Amino acid sequence: MNKDILTVSESAPQTMTGVKAGKANLKVTSGGVSAYVVVTVSGGSEDDKYTPMVAAGEGFTVVLKANGSVWTWGDNSSDQLGRSTADTIGMVSIAEDVMYIAAGKNSAYAVTYKKNADGSEESKLYAWGDNTFGQLGGGTTAAKLVTPVAITGPNGKVMTNVKSVSVTDNSVLVLTNDGFVYGFGEMFVYNSRKIAQIPNLTGVAQISGMYARTTGGMVWRIDESGSPQKVSIKKNNSDVSAVKIVAGRDHLLILDEDSRVWTYGDNTYGQIGNSENAESNAVQVKISENEYLVDVSDIAAGQYSSYAVKTETLADKTSKSTVYGWGDNSSGQLGKDPATNERMSVATIIDSAPSNIDVISAGYNQVYLIDSDGRVWGEGENDLGQLANGETQNSSKFVICGDSQIEINKGRRRR
């Protein structure tokens, strides 16, 4: 559990107390049955309602501010910035507050939240950008779209119970509040790329890429036929329960209940962080030949790179974060000179990262951090201005995104 975000009393009846806005992993046990849930702690003001996020497409970046507004920058060749003026950082016009974002190769997605006058709640999924493979859903047949459009379900009606969305290139998964998963886009040719429910998959708590994690901590991979396949994660022949998953192009990172990191999938670029084969069973990430990466608080995955954050509480009660990276470093996304460190096969500290990290997120060939002061930091590929630092050179050191500070946690939303 992330105690800098949420604390739980030791004596019965147990109560939860939010420390600051963010997400905390929590193990809940009842009647001998345990499940792992993610608790979102929101701020009390209008400008601090949602957990800030960064999502990165192939050449563009999407940011969710704590006040529910969405901002974009970078490449706009497929209208993926959600606005016609692409030369500066700008806000996407969406009628409702946004609580979750995701980015595909050249498309973007936002889950909105609205409380109606009768007290009922609804959450919709909006999409914009490239639609070559039907990745904007059934709400449009246009080749590309600059204005966000609401995604419709298999019944042809706008979905109003969306929890989150995940994307791999041009393929999309949608998670609903009742734990069901739907897929559409390039990969789902078996259903003419139209939205359909993934069969035999219920009780899902989280999705990432083409993977799903259930409330019981099991992990499933969605294959091209739309069928879920269980990912094997074992320690001493016993199943390991996942509390968070993040997917790259061909690999998956798994954070378990004991703050260890596991990886599964392809290891061409060293993104597994272990020399063992991980295409059949997940393996644990190493920081050296004989030492594993432990005490991890968060994880992120780029296209062929992997990241982890270790957070420790100091004597003065402040937190200090350390960022590790491994895998592909061809654009400097692991904080090293790619000329001498093109690939890294074990988790290595990224020295230029700030020590006050609230959020980590990775995209294709970039990694982003949001610090406790609300600033966005980026590192890696920048040929299309993905780092928003006024340059187009790649950076192997973290730079502040924006001509001036982008205050993610501050600033009232403009309507």
Confidence of residue 1 (pLDDT cuts 50, 70, 90): low
Q: What is the pLDDT of residue 409?
A: 56
- Asked if residues 110 and 100 have their Cβ atoms less than 8 Å apart, the reply is yes
Confidence of residue 313 (pLDDT cuts 50, 70, 90): confident
Confidence of residue 314 (pLDDT cuts 50, 70, 90): confident
- Segment 89-114, tens digit of pLDDT: 999 999 999 999 999 999 999 999 99
Q: What is the pLDDT of residue 3?
A: 60
- pTM of the entire predicted model: 0.88
- Asked if residues 65 and 71 have their Cβ atoms less than 8 Å apart, the reply is yes
Phi-psi region of 212 (alpha: psi -120 to 50; beta: other; left: phi over 0): beta
- pLDDT above 80 for 45: no
High-pLDDT (> 90) share of the chain, %: 78
Q: What mean pLDDT is predicted for residues 348-354?
A: 97
d(CA 47, CA 233): 40
- pLDDT above 90 for 21: no
Bond prior to 338 in cis (omega within 30° of 0): no
Other Cβ atoms closer than 10 A to 258: 12
Q: What is the pLDDT of residue 33?
A: 47
Confidence of residue 413 (pLDDT cuts 50, 70, 90): very low
- Which candidate, 412, 414, 385, places its Cα nearest to that of 401? 385
Q: What mean pLDDT is predicted for residues 266-293?
A: 96
Beta-carbon-side half-sphere exposure of residue 299 (alpha carbons within 13 Å)? 31
d(CA 37, CA 24): 8
- Phi, psi (rounded to 5 degrees) for 234: -135, 140
- Phi, psi (rounded to 5 degrees) for 189: -70, -25
- pLDDT above 90 for 4: no
> For residue 341, what are the CA distances in angstroms to 173, 305, 309, 324?
34, 13, 21, 15
Q: What is the pLDDT of residue 410?
A: 43
Phi-psi region of 385 (alpha: psi -120 to 50; beta: other; left: phi over 0): left
Three-state SS at 190: helix
As beta bridge partners, residue 307 has: 300, 325
The 8-class DSSP code of residue 117 comes to T
Q: Any idea what the Cα angle at residue 99 is, between residues 98 and 104, rounded to 5°?
A: 80
Q: Environment class of residue 180 by beta-carbon count within 10 Å: exposed (0-12), middle (13-18) or buried (19+)?
A: middle
Least confident of 201-210, 302-311, 316-325: 316-325
- Which candidate, 102, 104, 40, 110, places its Cα nearest to that of 68? 110
Per the document, the length of the chain is: 415
Confidence of residue 367 (pLDDT cuts 50, 70, 90): very high
Q: What is the pLDDT of residue 89?
A: 92
Other Cβ atoms closer than 10 A to 276: 12
Q: What is the pLDDT of residue 36?
A: 46
Least confident of 14-18, 210-214, 276-280: 14-18
Q: What mean pLDDT is predicted for residues 146-159?
A: 96
Q: What is the pLDDT of residue 26?
A: 60
Confidence of residue 386 (pLDDT cuts 50, 70, 90): very high
Three-state SS at 408: coil
Q: What is the pLDDT of residue 190?
A: 87
Provide, for the chain, the percentages of residues in helix, strand and coil under a 3-state DSSP scheme, each rounded to the nearest 5: 0, 45, 50
Least confident of 17-31, 192-206, 208-222, 386-400: 17-31
Phi-psi region of 209 (alpha: psi -120 to 50; beta: other; left: phi over 0): left
Q: What is the pLDDT of residue 166?
A: 98
- Asked if residues 164 and 170 have their Cβ atoms less than 8 Å apart, the reply is no
Q: What is the pLDDT of residue 140?
A: 81
Other Cβ atoms closer than 10 A to 67: 22
Q: What is the pLDDT of residue 319?
A: 84
Rounded to a whole number of angstroms, the distance between the first and last alpha carbons of the chain is: 37
d(CA 344, CA 342): 7
d(CA 293, CA 262): 9
d(CA 124, CA 95): 11
As beta bridge partners, residue 305 has: 327
- Segment 63-89, tens digit of pLDDT: 999 999 999 999 999 999 999 887 789
Tokens coding 408: 């993610």
Tokens coding 282: 């997940």
Q: What is the pLDDT of residue 124?
A: 98
- Which candidate, 337, 264, 262, 258, places its Cα nearest to that of 299? 262
Q: What is the pLDDT of residue 360?
A: 97
High-pLDDT (> 70) share of the chain, %: 86
Confidence of residue 399 (pLDDT cuts 50, 70, 90): very high
Helices (H) and strands (E) in the chain, counts: 0, 37
Higher pLDDT, 298 or 224: 298
Higher pLDDT, 9 or 202: 202
Which residue's structure tokens are 């990290």?
Answer: 357
Q: What is the pLDDT of residue 85?
A: 83
Q: What is the pLDDT of residue 415?
A: 28
